[in-house]
């Protein structure tokens, strides 16, 4: 028992060295950096995927997202899902059931969170392969996802809802192009697309939070696409953009030339 306690203490000390700021500034506690998560972070350091974690970008109901650096100084985002949130588990099941990638996963919360992390990584891979403007996946382990950072010097790109657009109509056209690429080239429907998970970087839309995205042949895909179309159209209509009819945009996303 003493040996185990000493090893765990060393892991906490190693993590403290990895973090550039103190624990109060991070508001990090054992709900985020529990023992398996500590081990996962240290393994990713050993794999040279993470060098340092420098600050919290977002503390949400499902995960903490950190800003960090990889060896060589490249900025990264590190998303750490909580492994003890029962409410989150209920929401996950809708998006995991019927996905052939996760046929044989166990139903306990931790296993589902690990599968959810893998799902987001896989969806980011598909988005990258399809040329979708989204964070690029770097690696994942357990409940930890490492991806490219969208922003500069630790300041994330603004969300769509935070930034007045110089050309809302032009941005709408670019965003619908991204929706089409996600559907036709990546084979995915986002399912939760809104001004809250679209960033604006270099005057272009960047789609993120793709963990719930589904294959286009999933039974839920039509209703998820309908949600995305209606939400995007409603937002840009409020900005005075002459948007497509919902049905027209849905058909164009699905069948228009990519």
Catalytic residues, by residue number, are 192, 209
- HSE-up of 73 (CA within 13 Å, CB side)? 2
b/e per residue 241-252 (b: at least 16 CB within 10 A): bebbeeeebbeb
Structure tokens at 162: 């935070």
Residue with tokens 């948007």: 243
Q: Collect all residues with Cβ–Cβ distance below 8 Å to 222 and sequence separation of at least 6.
A: none
Is the CA virtual torsion 155, 69, 31, 119 positive or negative?
A: positive
Residue with tokens 């059931």: 97
Residues 50 and 78: beta-carbon distance below 8 Å: yes
| Closest C-alpha among 6, 61, 10 to residue 39 | 10
b/e per residue 184-204 (b: at least 16 CB within 10 A): bebbbbbbbbbbebbbbeeee
SS3 81: strand
């Amino acid at each position: 028992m003493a040996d185990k306690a000493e090893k765990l203490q060393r892991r906490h000390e190693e993590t403290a060295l990895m973090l550039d700021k103190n624990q109060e500034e991070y508001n990090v506690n054992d709900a985020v950096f529990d023992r398996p998560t500590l081990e996962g972070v240290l393994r990713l350091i050993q794999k040279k995927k993470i060098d340092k974690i420098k600050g919290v970008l977002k503390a949400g109901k499902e995960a903490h997202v950190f800003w960090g650096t990889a060896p060589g100084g490249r900025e990264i985002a590190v998303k750490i899902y909580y492994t003890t949130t029962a409410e989150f588990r209920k929401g996950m099941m809708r998006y995991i059931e019927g996905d052939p990638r996760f046929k044989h996963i166990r139903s306990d919360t931790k296993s589902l969170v690990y599968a959810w992390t893998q799902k987001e990584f896989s969806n980011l891979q598909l988005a990258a392969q399809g040329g979708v403007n989204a964070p690029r996946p770097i690696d994942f382990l357990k409940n930890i996802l490492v991806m490219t950072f969208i922003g500069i010097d630790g300041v994330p790109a603004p969300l769509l809802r935070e930034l007045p657009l110089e050309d809302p109509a032009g941005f709408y056209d670019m965003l619908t192009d991204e929706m089409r690429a996600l559907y036709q080239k990546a084979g995915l429907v986002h399912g939760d697309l809104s001004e809250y998970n679209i960033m604006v970087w270099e005057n272009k839309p960047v789609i993120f939070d793709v963990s719930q995205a589904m294959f286009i042949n999933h039974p839920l895909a039509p209703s998820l696409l309908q949600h995305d179309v209606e939400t995007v159209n409603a937002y840009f209509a409020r900005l005075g953009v002459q948007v497509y009819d919902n049905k027209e945009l849905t058909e164009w996303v699905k069948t228009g030339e990519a």
